[in-house]
Amino acid sequence: MKFDYIIIGGGLCGLSAGIRLAEQGKKTAVVSSGQSALHFFAGSFGLIGKNGGKTVLNPLEEIDCLPEKHPYRLMGKERVKRLAAEVPVMLDKAGITVTGSAEANHFTLTPFGKPRPSWLTLNGLPTFGKPDEKPFEKALIVSIKGFLESYPAFMVENLEKKGVCCRVETIDLERLTHLRESNFDMRAASIAKQMDRATIEEFASKINSCAGKDESVLIPAVIGINDERELDRMREMVNNPLYCVPTIPVSVPGLRAQHILQHYFEKLGGTYLLGDRVEKGIIEDGMVKALVTTNFGEDHLHADAFILASGNVFGEGIKSNPHDFYEPVFGLDVNYSSNRDEWYAFNFFDAQPYMEYGVEIDNDFHPSLKGIKIKNLFVAGSTLAHCNSLKEDSGAGTAILTGLHTADLAMNI
């Protein structure tokens, strides 16, 4: 099978690149083997939220303070700024509404009620301007009876520290009774799948009967697994201001974002090969000639250019054994410490060095294999070395912006 472009990996990065190429009418395929980090995504896109342990208010200004080989530094500040401004438009065309801009971070809430810096935040999540700002005067934190993935007590503790007057109500949704019969089903994704119109009406009506005057209502993010308009409809039914707060992963807003982006890519004419894995890339004379996948076997996939967006250790785009980190599809040159003691920080919650290990690229985002540049292959997203999405709170930004950037570079070779 022959395409103009093939992208390996269908997470946030691969889909952003695929949408860019498909929007230009290019015959594009995305091969994706499984779950992406989006399934765990809390609903706020980070561009640069933290650096050196400090909260970042102006992410564009912070680019100069990142390591020299960081993907944003390779792209250049002006390019990051220009692409970042295009992202809300792209998301809106796909059917995802976001708040925010790259000029200044705003803040949203973690599942525990702590402020989290954000570049863009999905529709329905609470947002506020500064980390020490009170997001609401009074909050009614709604829990669903038997729900396993929200922690109202932590939410209350952290919001009360900011001076928010909090109250918790647990709502028993009769239409979810059958889910409570199992120890495993009272989870966000299972509940969200049951949230049909009648259940949403029951939920809204029970909220209306217990919400007090001037209270902002916070519910766990279990509405709208396929379409954000389901949440808009519920907001119309509830008398008080209504917000979703992220739950413990798997995340409903993340599942929705993955579903919508994939659907939009396919609507643009892209081919999404879900559940297939690129086993091997065939390279000759510094060029990728073909890809071998699990499902197509001997029927190799061909394209003019390829983008590797297969994720980091989390997505299996980078793998490790007791001695090395390696890139499993092509065997590309990877940046990592040969001293195993340097792979991990002793404290589990510290920035872990291995998160920065990934594929080395040149200024044009081309990788190399034993020092030889691969001219029709680009690398993007969390597969790249020298960025640490947890330390910098930059995962979504790196994924989307390098996806768009490499798509543009690929169209110019």
Nearer to ligand FAD, 21 or 176 (CB): 21
> In angstroms, what is the minimal distance from the CB of 221 to ligand FAD?
12
> In angstroms, what is the minimal distance from the CB of 317 to ligand FAD?
5
> In angstroms, what is the minimal distance from the CB of 58 to ligand FAD?
17
Nearer to ligand FAD, 127 or 140 (CB): 127
Helices first, then strands: H and E counts in the chain: 11, 24
Nearer to ligand FAD, 115 or 315 (CB): 315
> In angstroms, what is the minimal distance from the CB of 310 to ligand FAD?
4
The whole-angstrom separation of Cα 10 and Cα 7 is: 8
Token reading at 198: 């009648």
Give the distance from CA 75 to its chain's centroid: 20
- Peptide bond just before 250 cis, omega within 30 deg: yes
The whole-angstrom separation of Cα 366 and Cα 356 is: 18
User: Do residues 20 and 404 touch, judged by C-beta distance below 8 A?
Assistant: yes
The whole-angstrom separation of Cα 98 and Cα 204 is: 23
Nearer to ligand FAD, 12 or 204 (CB): 12
Nearer to ligand FAD, 152 or 254 (CB): 254
Q: Which residues lie closer than 8 Å to 128 by C-beta, 6 or more apart? A: 106, 107, 108, 115, 134, 135
> In angstroms, what is the minimal distance from the CB of 287 to ligand FAD?
19
Rg, the chain, Cα only: 22
Nearer to ligand FAD, 147 or 306 (CB): 306
**DSSP class of 66:** S
> In angstroms, what is the minimal distance from the CB of 116 to ligand FAD?
8
Amino acid at 150: S
Residues that bind ligand FAD (CB under 6 A): 8-14, 31-38, 40-42, 44-46, 249, 277-278, 309-311, 314-317, 329, 381-382, 389, 395-396, 399
- DSSP SS3 for 311: coil
> In angstroms, what is the minimal distance from the CB of 178 to ligand FAD?
29
Residue appearing with tokens 């916070």: 218
User: Do residues 186 and 180 touch, judged by C-beta distance below 8 A?
Assistant: yes
Residue appearing with tokens 């947890």: 390
> In angstroms, what is the minimal distance from the CB of 235 to ligand FAD?
22
Q: Which residues of 163-173 are buried (b: 16+ CB within 10 A; e: fewer)?
A: ebebeebebeb
> In angstroms, what is the minimal distance from the CB of 382 to ligand FAD?
4
Token reading at 390: 């947890």
> In angstroms, what is the minimal distance from the CB of 173 to ligand FAD?
27
Nearer to ligand FAD, 166 or 387 (CB): 387
> In angstroms, what is the minimal distance from the CB of 261 to ligand FAD?
10
Residue appearing with tokens 């994704």: 189
Nearer to ligand FAD, 155 or 173 (CB): 155
How far is residue 138 from each of residues 164, 173, 330, measured CA to CA in Å? 6, 24, 55
Nearer to ligand FAD, 39 or 138 (CB): 39
Beta bridge partners of 106: 118
Closest CA to 256 of 230, 217, 219: 230
The whole-angstrom separation of Cα 193 and Cα 208 is: 23
Nearer to ligand FAD, 40 or 154 (CB): 40
Q: Which residues lie closer than 8 Å to 182 by C-beta, 6 or more apart? A: none
User: Do residues 83 and 401 touch, judged by C-beta distance below 8 A?
Assistant: yes
Nearer to ligand FAD, 176 or 318 (CB): 318
